[in-house]
Amino acid sequence: MYSILTNILKQKNVLKSTTTNVNRYVIFNFHNKIRQFGSTSVNHAVPTAENPPMRILLLGNPGAGKGTQSSRMQKNFNITAITSGNLLRQNIAKGTTVGKIAAKHMEHGEFVPDDIMIELIGDELQRNKRQNWLLDGFPRTINQAMALDDNLNLSGQSLNLVINLQVPEEVILQRIMDRWIHVPSGRVYNLSYNPPKIHGIDDVTGEKLTKRDDDNPDIFKIRLQKHHALTEPLLEYYNKRNILITCNGRTSDEIYPQIESELIARFNVISPNNQVKTSTEKNLLKVATRENL
């Protein structure tokens, strides 16, 4: 790349033949172009005919870190996160028909009926049909999974990856004890590894953070038991379709590289954070530093 640019510039009499002038011109006028060239040649996170959209379902025990992994995937792979809990809160806040029905069930501690959830999730998936998307919080049962498949088939979509996060229960227990949330946005903080800048305050809005009512050891253990009973058949269902992977670890930093490797291998994409500068870029930056440009 360096020699090609240099020869072109010399032929057009843009530069003198001195190395310093060539370096200066390339640094100032081609540095961004080189970076763009490197990015467009490897970043295939945008859906194309050769790289079909990601249709990902994220599973895991309560407190396994689904929100954290979802945020990293959104940042690095151009993925839209569709979270059932957030959708419910948004519809309840807006007073939509679905939101009003859901609110009545939730006020009585009942699960929102499957048909309501399918309508809610289905509409959002349709809106994001041409985008990569990641689904979190739904489905939770076999019946819901089958209903989701039927809904996706109607719009010509289908899940192509299910990621199950496997974290030791003692680690999850500590996490939920340290967890604080910003209810309006769904942002989650953890005092151990992702604390807010100011204790008890949301970084973005400055509003107060709260604890979930069920974030205590006794209730959590009951939630885990119920979760296992529902999830085991679900994992078997997706495993038979050969779209299930399980990522094990005690921390998000142990788990995320496993997710990233799978996305790269399965969807022919590369995380922007992993794009390495070319040797030309490195050499140009060295020259710039050396000559105080």
pLDDT score at 276: 43
pLDDT score at 49: 57
Is 126 in the same domain as 153? yes
Domain membership flag for residue 16? yes
Residue 100, annotated ligand binder?
Answer: no
Domain that holds residue 118: 55-85+111-167+216-274
Instruction: Tell how strand 244-248 and strand 161-166 pair up.
Output: parallel
Residue with tokens 């843009």: 14
pLDDT score at 11: 52
Is 163 in the same domain as 142? yes
Domain membership flag for residue 197? no
pLDDT score at 20: 43
pLDDT score at 107: 83
Is 252 in the same domain as 127? yes
**CATH number of the domain to which 235 belongs:** 3.40.50.300
User: How many domains does one find in the chain?
Assistant: 2
CA 211 → CA 24, 68, 105, 187, distances in Å? 56, 17, 22, 12
Write out the catalytic residue numbers: 66, 140, 179, 212, 223
Is 132 in the same domain as 235? yes
* Ranges of the chain whose pLDDT falls below 70: 1-50, 271-293
Paired with 82 in beta bridges are 135
Residue 179, annotated ligand binder?
Answer: yes
pLDDT digits (tens, 9 = 90+) for 27-39: 344 344 434 444 3
pLDDT score at 183: 87
pLDDT score at 47: 63
CA 137 → CA 39, 86, 134, 202, 291, distances in Å? 33, 9, 10, 23, 54
The encoded tokens of residue 215 equal 């974030």
Phi, psi of 201 (to 5 degrees): -125, 135
Is 11 in the same domain as 154? no
Residue with tokens 């979190």: 136
Closest to 90 in 3D by CA, of 44, 139, 124, 45: 124
pLDDT score at 36: 42
DSSP characters over 201-227:
B-TTT-PBPB--TT-SHHHHHHHHHHH
* Residue spans of alpha helices (H) in 51-138: 66-77, 84-94, 97-107, 114-127
Residue 127, annotated ligand binder?
Answer: no
The encoded tokens of residue 153 equal 């088939």
pLDDT digits (tens, 9 = 90+) for 191-235: 988 899 999 999 999 999 999 877 888 888 888 888 899 899 999
pLDDT score at 108: 79
Is 71 in the same domain as 129? yes
Residue 206, annotated ligand binder?
Answer: no
pLDDT score at 230: 87
Domain membership flag for residue 184? no
